[in-house]
């Protein structure tokens, strides 16, 4: 069966290589009775793959059931999966068949398999190896023919090393692993999915589908989407219901994006593809720190030049008594010591200075160190204010001058409570 027809049949949107590879594996393994482990983050659509495998298998006319292992209390999961006898525990007023008994001949999808208790894992391993199980409170061995498809958003191999998951069960389940890519790893599919969702919601709510301008599209593509496709669908529905405009700008889109998921590190503006690696984030942080340090170095250099001018071009006491006094103080501080232990000749201070005590250069330097703030956040806020003033409040130009994206500038304005 062609891949595109499978996508159309099961509502799979996207053309990324990673997604196509996962679908290829699902199609190939569907015709077998092998156990399958579907791995992927929450919200990527792992259950859809289990439906594809069942629908393309020889068991397609038999029962399919999905069980969330993390949603069943530890004390009752054995009863849910394998059944129980009357009186086997408090509340067991009747005998009950479990899922492995009722789904005989079909497929059972065990979602969040990493949450399954160790004791239940041992029972499941026996079913996978021999097709046998025992009801809770019974000693009678029963047989079942069930295909198991499991899914997890955890790294089960790491769980085996800490004793949270049986290693033998892991290798028995992962006969054929399928890794479903996260949405941020398939950015070329984000706009396709968004368009599909807004069209669906427009039909449901009898409205015109919203559209994104180019900047809004770029913002959506670079958003991390920790909730994956599920989060994108929620955002599309919010915009479809709450937005009064049908053409959404980047500024309007930001109102629907959770601030907690936005990257707080400074991000340099770029026109290339999105790179979510830690290396890129730290490189961006270094870039803005370098800019801060270079500005500080520039200020220190200008201060040195000012002192040199004072020493080389002494002002008259009448024109500027304060500068004349500062020059005399500096000369006093840096007068070289004579090698014959005689006191060096010093110029008398101007007569216009009568009462103040001599102020040494060390005192001036100490005073500047106390008042000068080296806090990075303060410097960053100061740079942002300067850039906005320089460009008369134009965010795009200010962001370009600062070397950060307009999105980051918008976030910083809110974070530092800067009025434009």
Q: Where are the domains of the chain?
A: 3-181, 185-261
Q: What is the radius of gyration, based on Cα positions, of the chain?
A: 35
**φ, ψ for residue 397, nearest 5 deg:** -70, -40
CA distances from residue 236 to 42, 133, 239 in whole angstroms, order as listed: 18, 45, 5
**Is the C-alpha dihedral spanning 136, 140, 142, 148 positive or negative?**
positive
Which stretches within 243-277 are classed as H helix? 250-254
Q: State the Cα–Cα distance between residues 115 and 204, nearest whole angstrom.
A: 36
Q: State the Cα–Cα distance between residues 152 and 32, nearest whole angstrom.
A: 21
Asked whether residue 366 carries a pLDDT value surpassing 60, the answer given is: no
Q: In the CATH hierarchy, which top-level class contains the domain 3-181?
A: alpha beta
DSSP code of residue 27? H
Among the listed residues 406, 378, 388, 419, the one whose alpha carbon sits nearest the alpha carbon of residue 266: 406
Contact 227, 45 (CB under 8 A): no
pLDDT mean across residues, the chain: 81
Residue matched to tokens 């309007």: 252
* Tokens found for residue 131: 């097709």
Residue matched to tokens 């005998």: 95
* Tokens found for residue 89: 């525990």
Asked whether residue 273 carries a pLDDT value surpassing 70, the answer given is: no
Which stretches within 206-347 are classed as H helix? 214-222, 228-242, 250-254, 278-312, 321-334
**Is the C-alpha dihedral spanning 118, 26, 273, 220 positive or negative?**
negative
Q: State the Cα–Cα distance between residues 402 and 387, nearest whole angstrom.
A: 7
Note the residue count of the chain: 420
* Tokens found for residue 139: 């000693």
* Tokens found for residue 166: 């049986």
Q: What is the pLDDT of residue 225?
A: 94
Beta-bridge mates of residue 248:
212
pLDDT tens column, 235-266: 999 999 999 899 999 999 999 998 755 554 33
Reported as type and span, the H/E element at residue 38 is: strand 36-39
- Band of the pLDDT at 392, cuts 50, 70, 90? confident
Reported as type and span, the H/E element at residue 266 is: none
Among the listed residues 99, 108, 110, 100, the one whose alpha carbon sits nearest the alpha carbon of residue 152: 110
Gap between the terminal Cα atoms of the chain: 58
Residue matched to tokens 């000369």: 331
Q: What is the CATH number of domain 185-261?
A: 1.10.8.60
Among the listed residues 314, 322, 325, 383, the one whose alpha carbon sits nearest the alpha carbon of residue 349: 325
Q: What is the mean pLDDT of residues 176-201?
A: 96
Asked whether residue 291 carries a pLDDT value surpassing 80, the answer given is: no
pLDDT tens column, 190-227: 999 999 999 999 999 999 999 999 999 999 999 999 99
DSSP code of residue 316? P
- Band of the pLDDT at 269, cuts 50, 70, 90? very low
Q: State the Cα–Cα distance between residues 50 and 36, nearest whole angstrom.
A: 9
Beta-bridge mates of residue 141:
134
- Band of the pLDDT at 8, cuts 50, 70, 90? very high
């Amino acid at each position: 069966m062609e891949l595109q027809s499978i996508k159309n049949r099961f509502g799979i949107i996207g053309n990324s290589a990673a997604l196509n590879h996962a679908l290829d594996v699902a199609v190939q393994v569907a015709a077998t009775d092998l156990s399958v482990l579907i791995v992927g983050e929450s919200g990527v659509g792992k259950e859809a793959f289990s439906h594809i495998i069942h629908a393309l298998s020889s068991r397609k006319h038999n029962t399919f059931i999905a069980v969330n292992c993390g949603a069943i209390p530890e004390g009752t999961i054995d009863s849910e999966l394998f059944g129980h006898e009357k009186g086997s525990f408090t509340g067991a007023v009747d005998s009950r068949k479990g899922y492995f008994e009722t789904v005989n001949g079909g497929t059972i999808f065990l979602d969040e398999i990493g949450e399954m208790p160790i004791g239940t894992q041992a029972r499941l391993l026996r079913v996978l190896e021999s097709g046998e199980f025992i009801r809770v409170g019974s000693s009678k061995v029963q047989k079942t023919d069930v295909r198991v498809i499991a899914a997890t958003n955890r790294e089960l191999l790491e769980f085996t090393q800490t004793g949270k998951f049986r290693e033998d069960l892991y290798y028995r389940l992962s006969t054929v692993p399928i890794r479903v890519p996260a949405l941020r790893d398939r950015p070329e599919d984000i706009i396709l999915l968004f368009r599909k969702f807004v069209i669906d919601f427009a039909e449901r709510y009898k409205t015109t589908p919203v559209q994104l301008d180019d900047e809004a599209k770029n913002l959506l593509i670079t958003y991390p989407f920790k909730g994956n496709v599920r989060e994108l669908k929620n955002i599309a529905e919010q915009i479809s219901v709450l937005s009064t405009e049908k053409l959404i700008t980047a500024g309007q889109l930001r109102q629907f994006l959770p601030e907690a998921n936005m990257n707080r590190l400074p991000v340099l503006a770029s026109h290339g593809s999105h790179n979510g690696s830690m290396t890129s984030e730290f490189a961006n942080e270094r870039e803005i720190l370098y800019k801060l340090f270079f500005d500080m170095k520039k200020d220190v250099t200008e201060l040195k030049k000012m002192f040199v001018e004072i020493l080389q071009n002494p002002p008259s006491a009448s024109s500027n008594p304060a500068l004349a006094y500062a020059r005399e103080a500096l000369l006093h501080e840096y007068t070289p010591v004579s090698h014959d232990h005689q006191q060096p000749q010093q110029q008398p201070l101007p007569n216009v200075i009568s009462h103040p005590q001599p102020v040494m250069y060390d005192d001036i330097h100490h005073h500047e160190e106390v008042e000068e703030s080296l806090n990075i956040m303060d410097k960053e806020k100061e740079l942002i204010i300067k850039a906005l003033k320089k460009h008369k409040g134009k965010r795009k130009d200010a962001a370009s001058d600062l070397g950060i994206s307009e999105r980051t500038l918008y976030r910083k304005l809110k974070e530092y409570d800067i009025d434009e």
